[in-house]
């Protein structure tokens, strides 16, 4: 047995419990997909879209309040960037607020996924966007929340890329 084989065996053996745990969570999440979530999760997701629409007017505080401020947060927005860590995510939201984009985003086809006892929830939806110029757009979005204390805090927001914002 060479060092490469030993390393592969060790990695497979070491990651087996993690893979079993992730598979169990995935099965629990799929088994608990719902259009009717727990009220606090639904309120958190509705709060995100309210904060997003407020941010389009240049006001940032509601957006900053609903995010987890951890190093593990991520934002994959319509510009195609992959931002990780609260400082990077916060800076991007400030940049967007300063642009005062106007318009409105409304979530439709909302689906909630929860893994019981994990403190993690995933929400998928279609964002129906109307720009300040009246243009209509639809993009897919995934929001990930983590229970922190008694509140659901956003830890990830991921949307389709929009060619109009890719530069």
Domain residue ranges of the chain, discontinuous segments joined by +: 1-31, 35-165
User: How confident is the model at residue 162, as a pLDDT?
Assistant: 81
What is the C-alpha to C-alpha distance for residues 161 and 140, in angstroms, rounded to an integer? 9
User: How confident is the model at residue 116, as a pLDDT?
Assistant: 86
User: How confident is the model at residue 8, as a pLDDT?
Assistant: 44
| Average pLDDT over all residues of the chain | 84
Q: For the segment 78-94, what is each residue's pLDDT rounded down to a tens digit?
A: 999 999 999 999 999 99
Q: What percent of the chain has pLDDT over 90?
A: 71
What is the C-alpha to C-alpha distance for residues 127 and 107, in angstroms, rounded to an integer? 5
Q: Which of 37, 49, 53 is nearest to 115 (CA)?
A: 37
Q: What percent of the chain has pLDDT over 70?
A: 75
Higher-pLDDT residue of 73 and 16 is 73
pTM, 2 dp = 0.78
Higher-pLDDT residue of 140 and 6 is 140
Determine which of 31-35, 39-43, 145-149 has the lowest per-residue pLDDT on average: 31-35
User: How confident is the model at residue 35, as a pLDDT?
Assistant: 61
CATH class of 35-165: alpha beta
Q: For the segment 38-77, what is each residue's pLDDT rounded down to a tens digit?
A: 899 999 999 999 999 999 999 999 999 999 999 999 999 9
């Amino acid at each position: 047995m060479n060092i490469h084989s030993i390393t592969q065996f060790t990695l497979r053996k070491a990651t087996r419990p993690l893979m079993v745990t992730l598979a169990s969570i995935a099965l629990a999440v799929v088994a608990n997909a719902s259009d009717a979530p727990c009220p606090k999760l639904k309120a958190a997701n509705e709060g995100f879209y309210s904060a997003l629409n407020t941010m389009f007017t240049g006001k940032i505080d509601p957006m900053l309040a609903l995010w987890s401020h951890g190093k593990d947060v991520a934002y994959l927005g319509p510009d195609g960037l992959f931002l990780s860590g609260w400082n990077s995510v916060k800076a991007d939201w400030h940049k967007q607020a300063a642009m005062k984009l106007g318009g409105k985003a409304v979530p439709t086809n909302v689906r909630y996924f929860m893994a019981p006892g994990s403190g993690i929830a995933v929400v998928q939806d279609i964002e129906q966007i109307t720009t300040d110029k009246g243009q209509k757009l639809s993009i897919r979005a995934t929001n990930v929340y983590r229970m922190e204390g008694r509140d659901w805090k956003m830890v990830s927001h991921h949307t389709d890329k929009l060619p109009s914002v890719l530069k």
